[in-house]
């Protein structure tokens, strides 16, 4: 069955920065979608901040198995209503891949429950992303590491909860390290944070990065039935083993019927 992916992009730097516009003339979101669509089992479409409802209407999210998120300059412009909507779908089972500076997005901070802060430096340094979990589906076909000749540095401490799994650790030319590939489970949905993707470098054209994006989308796909968040009151007479109410208290230890 085709895996339905919505690639969300902020689409701000592409309009305001000549370097980004030359690197990604159709937008970073279009480049990411192109990488995903190289896999015949994936059908990727795009949505951007400037679209009505940021391109993330109820209908769009309902028909999305995995959502990817890249943002940087306009986190505050994302409507809280849309964040609520995306969070609800993740809890129901939709996968979410957060890319690069999306670590500061409203949706990632909401799901993490922390500031998601880090150290950073933009100096065009070499980055080597070491695979530290070689059996994980996300890193298949990548080899021992991914080397990017020029990247923005992100450094520890990264203020996120302890992840379920770490799949990449980056080492930078300046000496810093960073947990660059992290997985989480939130409700019924999976979340993957993947660090590379600074807008002024051609990172989303790198063959290994594109392979990780495709692998991650497959890993993030929903599993099982949709989880519906509810908090119903169950009267005693509807309990699996009906409970007899005696006055204002239930059976006490030593009374007949106590288990």
How does pLDDT run along the chain (259 residues), one tens digit per residue?
A: 899 999 999 999 999 999 999 999 999 999 999 999 999 999 999 999 999 999 999 999 999 999 999 999 999 999 999 999 999 999 999 999 999 999 999 999 999 999 999 999 999 999 999 999 999 999 999 999 999 999 999 999 999 999 999 999 999 999 999 999 999 999 999 999 999 999 999 999 999 999 999 999 999 999 988 877 888 898 888 888 877 766 554 545 555 554 4
Domains and CATH numbers, the chain: 3-113+181-220 (3.40.50.880)
238 with 209: CB under 8 angstroms?
Answer: no
Distance in angstroms (rounded) separating the CA atoms of residues 46 and 178 = 29
What is the C-alpha R_g of the chain? 22
165 with 183: CB under 8 angstroms?
Answer: yes
Within 10 angstroms of residue 213's Cβ, the number of other Cβ atoms is: 28
């Amino acid at each position: 069955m085709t895996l339905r992916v919505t690639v969300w992009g902020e689409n701000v730097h592409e309009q305001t920065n000549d370097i980004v516009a030359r690197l990604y003339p159709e937008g970073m979101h279009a480049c990411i979608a192109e990488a995903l669509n190289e896999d015949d089992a994936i059908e990727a479409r795009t949505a951007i901040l400037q679209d009505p409802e940021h391109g993330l209407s109820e209908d769009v999210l309902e028909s999305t198995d995995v959502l990817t998120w890249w943002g940087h300059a306009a986190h505050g412009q994302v409507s809280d209503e849309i964040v609520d909507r995306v969070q609800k779908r993740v809890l129901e089972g939709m996968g979410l891949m957060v890319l690069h500076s999306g670590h500061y997005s409203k949706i990632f901070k909401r799901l993490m429950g922390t500031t998601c802060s880090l150290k950073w430096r933009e100096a065009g340094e070499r980055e080597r992303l070491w695979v530290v979990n070689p059996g994980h589906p996300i890193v298949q076909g990548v080899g021992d590491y991914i080397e990017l000749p020029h990247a923005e540095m992100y450094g520890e401490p990264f203020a996120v909860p302890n992840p379920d799994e770490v799949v990449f650790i980056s080492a930078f030319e300046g000496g810093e390290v960073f947990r660059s590939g992290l997985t989480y489970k939130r409700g019924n949905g999976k979340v993957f944070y993947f660090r590379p993707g600074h807008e002024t470098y051609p990172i989303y054209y790198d063959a290994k990065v594109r392979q990780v994006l495709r692998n991650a989308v497959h890993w993030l796909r929903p599993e099982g039935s949709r989880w519906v968040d509810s908090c119903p009151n169950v009267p005693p007479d509807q309990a699996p083993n009906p409970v007899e109410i005696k006055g204002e208290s239930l059976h006490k230890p030593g009374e007949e019927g106590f288990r």
